[in-house]
Amino acid sequence: VGIGTTAPNSTLHVAGSQTVKRTATAIDYTILASDYYIGVTSTAAARIITLPAAATAAIGKVYIIKDESGGAATNNITIDGNAAETIDGAATKVINANYGSVQIITDGSNWFSF
């Protein structure tokens, strides 16, 4: 499929820009299946971002979680797998660098960062 092109170079070829859903939170937040980019706008305290169930999100679902406040080195942002689901084999993934971010993808059972 080509969007903005008559000669696509891959299964989906977009010759143009992209707009994605941005969710901003200044408190702990449980990600929705419809979310994509989650900006943590306040790290006045440590924050917990909880992932949805991997099966609900569907195989290949990607989320981006970003410290937009620049305070994660002092007050970490912890990304928590849903129930027993893991992130790279661990229960949580921590953003502990100012303005740090994590991209997460699911295989339908667990989560992996990249």
Per-residue pLDDT reduced to its tens digit, 71-103: 999 999 999 999 999 999 999 999 999 999 999
Average pLDDT for 27-48? 97
For residue 76, tell me if it sits in a domain: yes
CATH of the domain at 81: 2.60.120
Average pLDDT for 100-111? 98
- How many independent structural domains does the chain possess? 1
Per-residue pLDDT reduced to its tens digit, 2-26: 888 888 888 888 888 989 999 999 9
Average pLDDT for 34-57? 97
For residue 9, tell me if it sits in a domain: no
Does residue 65 register a pLDDT over 90?
yes
* Phi-psi map region of 22: left, alpha, beta (phi>0 left; psi -120 to 50 alpha): beta
| Residue among 43, 34, 46, 39 nearest 23 (CA) | 39
